[in-house]
Amino acid sequence: MVTLITNIKELLQVRETEILKVSGTEMAVLPTIKNAFLLIKDNLIADFGQMNELPELKADKIIDATGRIILPSWCDSHTHIVYAGNREQEFVDRINGLSYEEIANRGGGILNSAKKLNETSEEEIYEQSKLRLEEVMHLGTGAVEIKSGYGLTVEGELKMLRVIKKLAENYPITIKATFLGAHAFPSHFKENKAGYIEEIITKMLPEIAKNKLADYIDVFCETGYFSVEETEKIMEAGIQYGLIPKIHVNQFNSIGGIQAGIKFKALSVDHLEIMTPEDIDALKDSETMPVALPSCSYFLSIPYTPAREMIKAGLPIALATDFNPGSTPSGNMNFVVATACIKMKMTPEEAINAATINGAYAMGISKTHGSITKGKKANFILTKPISSYYQIPYAFGSNLIESVFAEGEILT
């Protein structure tokens, strides 16, 4: 099947040669082609260029994109899309004055979702989660990482990871699975933290590895959750089972999680709302991608990741949603890009780089996703007629997407 798209007003994120990520001042550069064509063969990008260079060719389907922009699909490298029920009561409790921390201390928060997850059947969790996946795909997400972490029991964690695997099998979207058994201590291990860590290492990890249920290992490294020492122990065990670390750090406190992640060659360190100059320094000369989650900052009214300072220091940044029932009940990458521009003062070019190629890097898939490059997956967004790509963050509440291409096919 050959599809030709013609008269594209502007084709964004065009990379002739393979790049895996962009950092520092390079983040301000978003290469584009105006008045472009794009050729798709089966599920891959076969060619692109200016309309006046369009070669003679036979296509099964021709789409005229006059007035419209094309950009690679969003790469959302941090989500918790698989969960049961919701936490809307906690949302109202927070409006009425309780903090996220106070809610968690009363047995709400992650433990509330864990209780719901363990009481819900695998089939029902799949049904609830697939609706969220379908929603984000129509919002332009073409690759997504999904974490476990609401089971907190051997069976619950395996159940979540099996649901993630089934989603990956059934939908035309690349899904990476992350084992986040170390998301919180379940109540019956409150007085025996070492016991729960033992459970993660000796019971959960071997089963997950045996059944090839995860690519990455995550830990919520934070005051009141997992200490740096515990995080290191869990990352080390995960690595022994072939899982690469991608960890939650610096959401509320800077306690050394970034340094621990770098030490264990984490693919990414995520959240980063609270950053010290030492944290920024530690990330220089590392291959670890810093990931910001601005819709979490928005929803919880906590600080935004200091993107300007980080970019000034030469660092890359990826943007992701953190879609989860507690801190970010939204998987809209368009909103994430807009919020990064509006609240973190990233330019549209920086934000689009952060949500495409750098997001792909944070999932280990930038060889196949995240840019318009020959041979990469034909995953892209075709916008409605718009004046320029500035509209994407500027018109932050509008849906500017006309159609989404997933592996060369229009999503219906």
List the binding residues.
Answer: 78, 80, 87, 150, 183, 248, 251, 322, 324, 326-327
Binding-site residue numbers for 4-imidazolone-5-propanoate are 87, 150, 183, 251, 327
Cβ 17 to Fe ion, closest distance in Å?
33
Q: Is the CB of 48 or the CB of 304 nearer to ligand NIG?
A: 304
Residue 220 sits in the site that holds ligand NIG (CB under 6 A): yes
> Restricting to residues 34-93, which ones interact with Fe ion according to CB under 5 A?
none
Which residue lies nearer to ligand NIG by CB, 175 or 386? 175
Ranges within 295-314 binding ligand NIG (CB under 6 A):
296
* Shortest separation between residue 375's beta carbon and ligand NIG, angstroms: 33
Q: Which of 3, 13, 113, 148 binds ligand NIG (CB under 6 A)?
A: 113
CB nearer to Fe ion: give 10 or 322.
322
Whether the Cβ atoms of residue 378 and residue 361 lie closer than 8 Å to each other: no
Q: Which is nearer to Fe ion, 90 or 322 (CB)?
A: 322
# binding residues, Fe ion (CB under 5 A): 1
**Which tokens hold the place of 356?**
């495409």
The site string for Fe ion over 92-131 (x = CB under 5 A, - otherwise) reads ----------------------------------------
Is 72 a binding residue for ligand NIG by CB under 6 A? The answer is no
Which range of residues in 61-69, 315-323, 365-373, 374-382 is near Fe ion by CB under 5 A? 315-323
Comparison of 326 and 331: residue with beta carbon closer to ligand NIG:
326
Does position 110 interact with ligand NIG (CB under 6 A)? The reply is yes
- Per-residue HEC secondary structure of the chain comes to CEEEEEEEEEEECECCCCCCCCCHHHHHCCCEEEEEEEEEECCEEEEEEEHHHCCCCCCCEEEECCCCEEEECEEEEEECCCCCCCCHHHHHHHHCCCCHHHHHHCCCCHHHHHHHHHHCCHHHHHHHHHHHHHHHHHCCEEEEEEECCCCCCHHHHHHHHHHHHHHHHHCCCEEEEEEEEECCCCHHHCCCHHHHHHHHHHHHHHHHHHCCCCCEEEEEECCCCECHHHHHHHHHHHHHCCCEEEEEECCCCCCCHHHHHHHCCCCEEEECCCCCHHHHHHHCCCCCEEEECHHHHHHHCCCCCCHHHHHHCCCCCEECCCCECCCECCCCHHHHHHHHHHHHCCCHHHHHHHHCHHHHHCCCCCCCCCCECCCCECCEEEECCCCCCCHHHHCCCCCCEEEEEECCEECC
Which window, 13-21, 237-245, 276-284, 322-330, contacts Fe ion (CB under 5 A)? 322-330
Span near Fe ion by CB under 5 A; candidates 205-213, 225-233, 319-327, 338-346 = 319-327
388, amino acid identity: S
State yes or no: residue 322 binds Fe ion (CB under 5 A). yes
| Pairing of β 2-12 and β 69-72 | parallel
Q: Which of 72, 109, 181, 348 binds ligand NIG (CB under 6 A)?
A: 109
Q: Can you tell me which of 325, 348, 364, 393 binds ligand NIG, judged by CB under 6 A? A: 325
What is the residue whose two structure tokens read 């795909």?
137
Residue nearest to Fe ion (CB): 322
Q: Which is nearer to ligand NIG, 148 or 373 (CB)?
A: 148
Q: How far apart are CA 127 and CA 131, in angstroms?
A: 7
Q: How many residues form the binding site for ligand NIG (CB under 6 A)?
A: 12
Cβ closer to ligand NIG: 251 or 383?
A: 251
A 10 A CB-CB count for 335 gives 18
Shortest distance in whole angstroms from residue 2 CB to Fe ion:
40
Please report, as ranges, the residues that interact with ligand NIG according to CB under 6 A: 109-110, 113, 220, 248, 251, 296, 322, 324-327
